[in-house]
Structure 1
Amino acid sequence: MAYGKLTLRDVAIALDLSLGSITYGYDFSIISTTVGQPSWYAYMGLTTDATSPNYSFSNSMLDTVFGLFSAGAIFGGLFVGWYSDAHGRQKALLIGNLINIVGGALQAGSAHIGMFIAARFITGFSGAMIVTLIPIYIAEVAPPAVRGLLVGQHGAFFLVGYTLAAWVGVGSYYSPNTAFNWRFPLSLQVLWPLLQLCVLVWLPESPRWLVRQGRSDEAWRILARLYHNPSDAQQLFAREQFFQIKAQCEADQAAYGDVNYLDLFRKPHFRKRTLIGTLVMWASQANGAIVIYSNIVVLVAGLGFDNAESLFLAAGWITLACVGNFANAYYLDKLGRIRSLMIGITGCVVCVIIEAAIVANYGGSDNKSALSAGVAMLFLFICFYAGFVDTTVYVYCSEIFPTHIRAKGMGWSIAVFFLSTLPFLESSATGFATIGWKYYLLFIILPSINVVLLYLFCPETKGQSLEEIGAFFNDNVAVRLTHISEEEKRALDERILAEQTIINGQEVSAASNPADSEKTPKVTI
C-alpha cells in the first residue's frame, strides 16, 4: 500500500475480508425473502391472512424473528470488542465465522418457530462479531488517503450479500419443493463463512494491534510488506507509518494505561467519541431504512402487487442498493463523511414524506399511477440511503476511536446500531397493520433532528491518519504526518531515518530497506 495509491495487495486484502461482509449481509437479508415464502408460513404454523384468528400471533412471531437477530447482535458486538483486543483481529474473526456456520445450519434445519428464533439469535451474535471486525481490520492496514474507499468495501460487499439473498429467494420461490423454497436459501448462510475461513490464514494480523501488544517486530514486518514501494529506496512511507503508530501507542499507554468498556463513558476524550458513534449509528437506523428493507416484500405487496411481483421488486431494490453502496465507497474520500451523511439522510426524509402521502391516499387502491409512484419513492429512498449513508457509518465509526480502544468503541457502536433497530423491527409489522401510513411519521421527525445534531457535533475525518484523528477529541497527537509543511515533513523524515528500526528483537539501521528479504522475512498477504 503506497501512500495515496491503490495496489493489488490493497484490493486482495479488502476482497478477502469482504467475504465477512457478504456473510453478514446474507445473514441479515435472507429473512426478508424467507418471510415472503408462503411455504415458510405454512410450515411454521403462521399466516398472512388478516382475517385469521392466528394473524396477531403471526405478526408477533415475525417481530420476534427480526428482533432476536438484533438482540443477538447487540451481545455479539460488545463481546467482540473485548475479545479482539485480548486475542487479536484474526482469532476473533475465526471464532465469529465458526459460530456463524452453526447459526446458519440451525436455521436451515429448523423444526419449529422456536428453534428458528433461537438460531436467528445465534446468527445475529456472530454476524455482529464479523460486521464489527471487518471495518476495524481494513482501517488498521489502510493508508489515510484511500481509507474511505477501502473500508467502504465493507459496506459495499454486505450489500452484495443482501443482493445474493434477494435473488436466491426469488429463484427458490418457483421451486415445486416447498421445503426447498426456504431451507435452501437459509442453508447458503454457511457458504460465505466457510470461504472466509479458507482465506483467513493468508491475511496479516493488524499491525496496530501488534504494536499495542508489544510485538513491534511483527508489526514492522507486516507494514514493510504492506507499504513497500519499489520506487522509494528508503521506504519512507512505511517508516513514517510505523514511527507514528509506535509513538502514538506509547503516548496513549502512558496517558490512559489499560482501558475497558467503562472507560468509554468515564474518560472525557473517549466519552465524546462514544456519544458521536452512538449518534451516527442511531441516525443511520432512525430514518426508516431498516423497516423498509426488512418489510420491503410486505410493503410492495401492500401497494397492490402479488407475491411473485413483490419478490422481484424487492430483489431489484436491493440490487440498486448494492450499486449505491459501491458508489458511496468510491467518492467518500472526496465528499467527506459528515457531508455524505447529511445529504443522504435529508434525501431519505423527502422520500418518506412523499411515500407516506401516497400510502395515505392511494394504499390498497387500483390507481396504478399512484402505486407505481409509491414503488418509485422506495427506490429513490434507497438511492439516498445506499449512496450516502450505509457505507459511511462503518467507515466513520472505525476511524474515530484510537487503537487501544477501537475494537471496544466499534463494538459499542455496532451494539447501538442493532439496539436502534429493535424498537422499529419489534413494532413495524404491528405498526403498519394498525396505524398504516402514520407509522412513517417517525421517519420524518427523527432524522430531521439527527441531521442537525450531525452538523453540530461530528468532526470531519477524511484524509487524516487514524492517529491524527485524535486531535479532534483533544488527544495528544505524538507525530503528525499529514497537514504539515514541507519543511516540517523533511525534518520529520530525517529524524525517522536517523532512528533505529527494531526487527526480530534486534536493532537494525533505519537506513536499510524494510522490504529486504534478508532483514525482513516475507509475510504472506
Structure 2
Amino acid sequence: MLPPKVYTFLCACFAAMGATLYGYDLGVISYVLVAPDFLKTVNLDPVKDANYIGFIVSSMLLGAFVGSIPASLIADAFSRRMAITVAGGVFIIGGILQTAAMNKETIFAGRFFAGLGIGMLGVLAPLYQSEIAHPSVRGMLTATFQFFLGIGAIVAGWIAYGVEQTHPNDPMAWRLPLGFQMAPAVPLLILSFLLPESPRWLMIKGREEEALHTLARLHARGNIDDPFVRGEFYSMQAKVGEEAQLDQSWSLIFKDRTNMRKVLYGIILQFSVQMTGVSAIQYYAGTVYQSVGFSKSTALLINSLNNINALIGELACILLVDRVGRRFPLIAGNILAGSCFAVATALAKQFAVGGGNKGQGIGFVAVLFVYNFAFSACIGPLSWVYPVEIFNTAVRGKATALTCMAAWISNFMIGQVSPIAFANITWKYYLVFTVCGFTNALTFYVLFPETKGRTLEEMDAYFRRTHWFVPGAKEDPVSTHERDMQLAQEGRMHRSTAADTEKGLQAGDYNHKEHVQY
C-alpha cells in the first residue's frame, strides 16, 4: 500500500487533470489565431475583426463564468466526484464543436461549452484537493492545479508549434491541436469514481462512518484508530455539527461579515492575478513577440519555451509553498512582476517609436521569462490555494464558485480588451500591468493573513480574531508539526473519554443486572 501522503498526492493530481484542460485552451488559442487556414475557414481578418477575435478568445472564459455556480450546486448535492464527471463530459462537447468548426458561430459555441467544463473544474478540483489534503501539505496539493495547467499549456504549445512547422497552411495546423484537448477529459469522465470521496462532503451528508474510513484511507493506510485521523475526524464532526445549526443557503455567505470578508479576499486575489498581465501575454503571444522584431514562427517558439519556464516555477511553488507560506510569495511575486513589466514597457516603447534592435528584443523576451517564472512560482498557484482553504465546509462550494467567477470575468475582460489595446495604445498597455504589480503587493501586505499549516476547521475562528490590518495583528505563525501533534492528542483524548464512557455504561448495566437478580 502506498504511503498516505503519496496516495493523497496522486488523488489530487488526478483531480488536477481538469487544470490541464484549462491550460491547454489557454495555450492553444494563440497558435490557432495565426493559422492561415483557420482565418480563412471562419472568415476572419486579424486587423478588421480584432474585436471578434478577442471575443473568440474570451468566450471560453464567459462559459467558465457561467459554469461556476452549477458546479458548486452539483458538488454539494451529488458529491465532488460526480460533479467532476459531469464537467469532463461538458468539456468534450466543447472540444468536438471546436475541432469540427466551419464558421465563427461554431468555434464560438465550442469555446463556450469548453469554458463551461473548465469553469466547473476550476471550482471542483481545488475544492476536492483541499478537502482531502493533510493540513501540512494542503498548499502543495492544491498548487498542483496550476502545475497541471502549465502542463496543458506546454503540450498545447509544442503540438501547435510542431504542426505549424510541418503543415502551416493546412487545416491540420489548427484542427489537430484543438482536437487533442479532449484527451485529458476522457479519464475525468469515466474514471472519477475511483477517487475517494471528500470526507468533509460525507460528513455534511451525515455519513460519518464513511467519512472516518475515508480519512483513514487518505491519512493512515486505512487505520481508523490512528490518533491523527481520530483528531481530524472529531474536529470535522464538531465543526459540521456547529454549522448544521446555521442557515445553509446563500444567505450564510452574505449575512456573515467574516464569510463576506473571505469572499472579498478571494475576489481581490483573482482579479489581481489578471492585472499582472499573464493572460495578455499568454493569449496574444504571437502579437507580443512579433511587436519586438521576431517572426511569427520564432514568436510561437518563444512562447513554447516560456511555457516550460513557467512549469519549472510551478514546480518550485509545489515544493516550497508549505514551507514559506502564502503571504510572502504573493507580496514578493507581485513586486517582481511589476518590476519586470517596468523594464518590458521601456523596451517595447523603443520598437513602437521606430527604433529597437535585436539586443533590445532579446532583452524584452528575457525579462518576460523572469516575469513568467515569478508569476508561476508565487502568484498563479496561490490564486487557487488561498481562496479555497479559507472557507468553512458549509459555504466552501458556493464561496469557491463566487471567487472562481471573479477569476473568469477578469480573465474575460483581459482577453476581450487586449487585442484592441495592442492595436491602439501598443506599449502603453504594459503600464497597466506595471502599476498593478505594485498595488497588488501592497494589498496583500495590508489585508491577507497567513494560512499556512492551519486546519480547514479553524479558519473561521482565525479570521474572526484577525484584524483586517494584518501587519498589526497579533497572531503567531503555526507549526505544522505542532498542529499534527495537537490533532493526534485530541484524537487520543476523545478515544480515552469514549472508552471510559463505554466502560461506565457496561459497569452500570452489570450492576443493574446483579441488583435485579438479587
TM-score normalised to the size of structure 2? Answer: 0.89
Does the CA contact (< 8 Å) of 2:453 and 2:479 recur in 1?
Answer: no
Does the CA contact (< 8 Å) of 2:81 and 2:197 recur in 1?
Answer: yes
Residue 152 of structure 2 aligns to a residue whose secondary structure is helix
Does the CA contact (< 8 Å) of 1:465 and 1:482 recur in 2?
Answer: no
Render the CA deviation track for 1:238-286: whole Å, top value 9, x for unaligned: 11111111111111222x23132x4322211210111111111111111
Distance 1:361 1:28, change over 3 A: closer
Does the CA contact (< 8 Å) of 1:24 and 1:161 recur in 2?
Answer: yes
Higher mean displacement: 466-475 or 396-405:
466-475
User: How far apart are the structure 2 equivalents of 1:357 and 1:253?
Assistant: 57
Q: 1:217 aligns with which of 189, 209, 220?
A: 209
Q: How does 1:252-263 map to 2 (within 5 A)?
A: 252-254=243-245, 256-260=246-250, 262-263=251-252
Amino acid at match of 1:297: G
Match of 1:301 in 2: 290
Deviation at 1:15, TM superposition (A): 2.4
Match of 1:521 in 2: none
User: How far apart are the structure 1 equivalents of 2:38 and 2:232?
Assistant: 53
Q: 1:358 aligns with which of 309, 327, 347?
A: 347
Deviation at 1:500, TM superposition (A): 5.2
Render the CA deviation track for 1:217-237: whole Å, top value 9, x for unaligned: 11112112112259x894111
Q: 1:429 aligns with which of 402, 419, 438?
A: 419
Please say if 1:420 is aligned against 2:410: yes
Please say if 1:116 is aligned against 2:114: no
Distance 1:96 1:195, change over 3 A: same
Match of 1:444 in 2: 434
Q: 1:173 aligns with which of 164, 182, 189?
A: 164
Distance 1:84 1:434, change over 3 A: same
Deviation at 1:401, TM superposition (A): 0.7
User: How far apart are the structure 1 equivalents of 2:117 and 2:53?
Assistant: 21
Distance 1:439 1:488, change over 3 A: closer
Match of 2:357 in 1: 367
Please say if 1:458 is aligned against 2:448: yes
Amino acid at match of 2:34: G
User: How far apart are the structure 1 equivalents of 2:144 and 2:227?
Assistant: 27
Deviation at 1:372, TM superposition (A): 0.8
Match of 2:390 in 1: 400
Amino acid at match of 2:339: V
User: How far apart are the structure 2 equivalents of 1:374 and 1:34?
Assistant: 24
Higher mean displacement: 487-496 or 171-180:
487-496
User: How far apart are the structure 1 equivalents of 2:101 and 2:502?
Assistant: 59
Q: 1:312 aligns with which of 297, 301, 305?
A: 301
Does the CA contact (< 8 Å) of 1:36 and 1:311 recur in 2?
Answer: no
Does the CA contact (< 8 Å) of 1:337 and 1:392 recur in 2?
Answer: yes
Residue 404 of structure 1 aligns to a residue whose secondary structure is coil
Distance 1:356 1:484, change over 3 A: closer
Q: How does 1:31-430 map to 2 (within 5 A)?
A: 31-48=29-46, 55-56=47-48, 58-176=49-167, 178-228=170-220, 234-254=225-245, 256-260=246-250, 262-363=251-352, 365=355, 367-430=357-420
Deviation at 1:433, TM superposition (A): 0.8
Does the CA contact (< 8 Å) of 1:240 and 1:481 recur in 2?
Answer: no
User: How far apart are the structure 1 equivalents of 2:336 and 2:448?
Assistant: 19
User: How far apart are the structure 2 equivalents of 1:499 and 1:280?
Assistant: 43
Render the CA deviation track for 1:22-56: whole Å, top value 9, x for unaligned: 122213322122113222112222234xxxxxx22
Does the CA contact (< 8 Å) of 1:329 and 1:392 recur in 2?
Answer: no
User: How far apart are the structure 2 equivalents of 1:214 and 1:164?
Assistant: 42
User: How far apart are the structure 2 equivalents of 1:418 and 1:233?
Assistant: 40
Deviation at 1:422, TM superposition (A): 2.5
Distance 1:215 1:195, change over 3 A: same
- Unpaired runs of 5+ in structure 2? 467-477, 504-518
User: How far apart are the structure 2 equivalents of 1:246 and 1:240?
Assistant: 10
Match of 2:513 in 1: none
Amino acid at match of 1:324: G
Residue 194 of structure 2 aligns to a residue whose secondary structure is coil
Deviation at 1:353, TM superposition (A): 0.6
Distance 1:323 1:36, change over 3 A: farther
User: How far apart are the structure 1 equivalents of 2:309 and 2:249?
Assistant: 42
How much identity, in percent, do the aligned residues show? Answer: 26
Does the CA contact (< 8 Å) of 1:99 and 1:122 recur in 2?
Answer: yes
User: How far apart are the structure 1 equivalents of 2:348 and 2:117?
Assistant: 37
User: How far apart are the structure 2 equivalents of 1:6 and 1:201?
Assistant: 19
Does the CA contact (< 8 Å) of 1:155 and 1:391 recur in 2?
Answer: yes
Please say if 1:11 is aligned against 2:9: yes
Does the CA contact (< 8 Å) of 2:15 and 2:125 recur in 1?
Answer: yes
Does the CA contact (< 8 Å) of 1:6 and 1:146 recur in 2?
Answer: no
User: How far apart are the structure 1 equivalents of 2:486 and 2:310?
Assistant: 44
TM-score normalised to the size of structure 1? Answer: 0.88
User: How far apart are the structure 2 equivalents of 1:178 and 1:26?
Assistant: 21
Does the CA contact (< 8 Å) of 1:304 and 1:365 recur in 2?
Answer: no
Cα RMSD of the aligned pairs, angstroms, is: 2.6
User: How far apart are the structure 2 equivalents of 1:341 and 1:120?
Assistant: 31
Match of 1:473 in 2: 463
User: How far apart are the structure 2 equivalents of 1:481 and 1:290?
Assistant: 36
Does the CA contact (< 8 Å) of 2:61 and 2:412 recur in 1?
Answer: yes
Residue 171 of structure 2 aligns to a residue whose secondary structure is helix
Whose helix proportion is higher, 1 or 2?
2
Does the CA contact (< 8 Å) of 1:459 and 1:472 recur in 2?
Answer: no
User: How far apart are the structure 2 equivalents of 1:450 and 1:386?
Assistant: 16
Amino acid at match of 2:204: R
Distance 1:41 1:251, change over 3 A: same
Render the CA deviation track for 1:348-375: whole Å, top value 9, x for unaligned: 1001111111111234646111111111
Amino acid at match of 1:87: F
Does the CA contact (< 8 Å) of 1:132 and 1:414 recur in 2?
Answer: yes
Render the CA deviation track for 1:88-129: whole Å, top value 9, x for unaligned: 101111110000000011000011011101211111111010
Does the CA contact (< 8 Å) of 2:136 and 2:480 recur in 1?
Answer: no
User: How far apart are the structure 1 equivalents of 2:484 and 2:458?
Assistant: 18
Higher mean displacement: 85-94 or 172-181:
172-181
Does the CA contact (< 8 Å) of 1:81 and 1:412 recur in 2?
Answer: no
Q: How does 1:480-499 map to 2 (within 5 A)?
A: 492-498=490-496
